[in-house]
Structure 1
Amino acid sequence: MRHLAFVTCISLLATPLLAGSAIAMSDADNACIDQLRVVGGPDGASGKVLSSEFSEAGTLVMLEDGGGTVWRCIAYKDGAIGELSVVEAADDGGGAMSGPGAAKPTTDTQRVRFDTGSTGAEISASLTPGSSTRYVLGAKDGQFLYVRVAPKSGSLGYLIQNPDGSALLDFMTPDKEYRGQLWQSGDHVIEVVNNGSTDAGYNVIFGIE
């Protein structure tokens, strides 16, 4: 059976993913499990699906690997993965999160500030596999936001959230820049995610007018 290690764990969940079946596996679940096995090291070879929430924009799948690390995954109808990032890292002392030189996936937050008189900023950074950085920009309803992610290496994507936590832009690949008018005032979050298996370097450009 496909993904046996994960299916076995799912059968132990108190609430089945789909009514009437404790081991129901969607295409999105399988796609996320496949990607976790690529980037998760030894711990990613087993685990359980904690939840799976379908929407037209993409299915949000929460996973826990064999080492206890919780992952957030967004999968699309065609089986493509939009995001795979760590929500809560765990070190089991002997798996993917340990060993010389092993880097734990992280999610960092950084506030973006523009120089006096400037309407934009550019930041250079890098991310380890599964990691992300949340860039916070204060902006007002009616202003226009511009975002461009320029990868130097690796596999990246980004998404944008409104101040109330709703999605302004679902997960997007860096070949497409964003330019649009805002409809809320407050802190907007642009999260850049490394959804590949190697380190990823990039420049990210922000503008608000």
Structure 2
Amino acid sequence: MTRIPLFFPLLVAAAPALADVSDAGNACIDALRANGTPDAQGGEVLSDEFSEAGSLVMLKDAGGTVWRCIAYGDGTVGELEVVDAADDGEGAMDGASAPMVSGEQRVKFASGTSGTVLTATLAPGAAVRYLLGAEKDQFLNMYVKVYNGALAYQIFNPDGSALLDTIGAGTPYSGQLWQSGDHAIEVYNDGTEPVTFDIGMSIY
């Protein structure tokens, strides 16, 4: 895993963009700086993963807290949250675990954005169906990234026919839609252990 020092001291001008960090990564660094805490003024980039649905950037600040950031190609940041809080010496808890999901989940994009990335946990033998409204001739980009175990997913058109047959997580999808209405993305866990995953989706 690539770790890139951020080098942004509090009392000097902002450091220039680093050559090895994407525009999304730099947007996340700026957002972390702006949160105002002393620890947020330095740290490292743990990972920087590009996707049309929104780049996932993991940061660790100078105090050891790990942050999860979702940024888009236009430089906007859709999400910045703590996923692993540093121990403050007084029993501070780790970051909240990803929620357990099942059934149907309606996907809504934040105002002014065309995509989102969600993090969730799927129980063994369970499935979740994400409903995403879209119009004919638009394009859908999506991916499923697992943190442990294995998952599979399938995409259905509004009429129930298959837009994409079942494939394993880790293989992204990008394609044009040919129906209008709710498209369903079903994610399956056929294993024997809970699996935590990210699912990224964008419509354009």
Normalising to structure 2: TM-score of the pair? Answer: 0.50
Structure with bigger helix share is 1
